[in-house]
Amino acid sequence: AQKITQTQPGMFVQEKEAVTLDCTYDTSDQSYGLFWYKQPSSGEMIFLIYQGSYDEQNATEGRYSLNFQKARKSANLVISASQLGDSAMYFCAPDTGANSKLTFGKGITLSVRP
Amino acid sequence: DTGVSQDPRHKITKRGQNVTFRCDPISEHNRLYWYRQTLGQGPEFLTYFQNEAQLEKSRLLSDRFSAERPKGSFSTLEIQRTEQGDSAMYLCASGGQAYYEQYFGPGTRLTVT
């Protein structure tokens, strides 16, 4: 079974500053990708960014980037230039199954202060 | 709107009643997933369809739960004899040919009283 660790219970960041959200995972599978999703108070899961296990460069998508350290099984999300609309829950989810089902951590609450 | 849609968005039911939820995936997406999310937790995988075939079911999916995707397009999730512990957000996601695509719908929030 996979174990996903998101230990930061709540994070605060000042608007326009950068913030890093931590994610570590425990899997014996050698081939996997990792997703990050955002869930605002409305409840919808919004896809942010994906890192393939064999991607040599860290994934970037607009203001989102991943600090992917495969050997440490760590894939931290960096949000640059935080906006008030970034306030939400953030989930990381490795994808190791043949069916690409996702296993989510408990998530991290991010609050952006004006 | 070309995203994943779910209906209803909210459902309140009494314990013991049956409920059915519908998910319409993104057009031409052949993969469809159901997840359940309880308060304070991340979503948990329930079941997976590749086209019309149900290829994987979680142990969370008790005998009271059944899911179908009859024509490989929309899917339904039925819960029979609902219990208070079934209260949760039920999320549907669809994926296309690329394995890294998985997009979620807005969810159906179920409250069992």
Quick one: pLDDT at residue A31? 59
C-beta atoms of A95 and B31 within 8 A? no
Q: Which of A65, A73, A80, A90 is nearest to A9 (CA)?
A: A90
**In chain B, which residues have their Cβ closer than 8 Å to the Cβ of A47?**
102-104
Quick one: pLDDT at residue A99? 80
Distance CA A92, CA A102 (A): 9
Interacting residues of A98 by C-beta distance below 8 A, sequence separation 6+ = none
Question: Beta partners for B19?
Answer: B79
pLDDT band for A45, please (50, 70, 90 cuts): very high
Residue B1 above 60 pLDDT? no
**In chain B, which residues have their Cβ closer than 8 Å to the Cβ of A102?**
33, 35, 43, 45, 102
Is B102's Cβ below 8 Å from some Cβ in A?
yes
pLDDT band for B72, please (50, 70, 90 cuts): confident
B81: left (phi over 0), alpha (psi -120 to 50) or beta: left
- For residue B70, say if its preceding peptide bond is cis, omega within 30 degrees of 0: no
How many angstroms away from the CA of B12 is the closest CA of chain A?
17
B18-29 CB burial, b ≥16 within 10 A, e <16: ebebebbbbeeb
User: A48-105, pLDDT tens digit by residue?
Assistant: 999 887 787 889 999 999 998 888 888 899 999 999 999 999 999 987 667 888 888 8
Question: Beta partners for B45?
Answer: B35
**In chain B, which residues have their Cβ closer than 8 Å to the Cβ of A41?**
none
Quick one: pLDDT at residue A1? 59
Q: Which whole number is the average pLDDT over B60-80?
A: 93
A60-97 CB burial, b ≥16 within 10 A, e <16: eeeebbbebeeeebbbbbbbeebeeebbbbbbbbbbbe
Q: In terms of pLDDT, which residue wins out, B27 or A2?
A: B27
Is B25's Cβ below 8 Å from some Cβ in A?
no
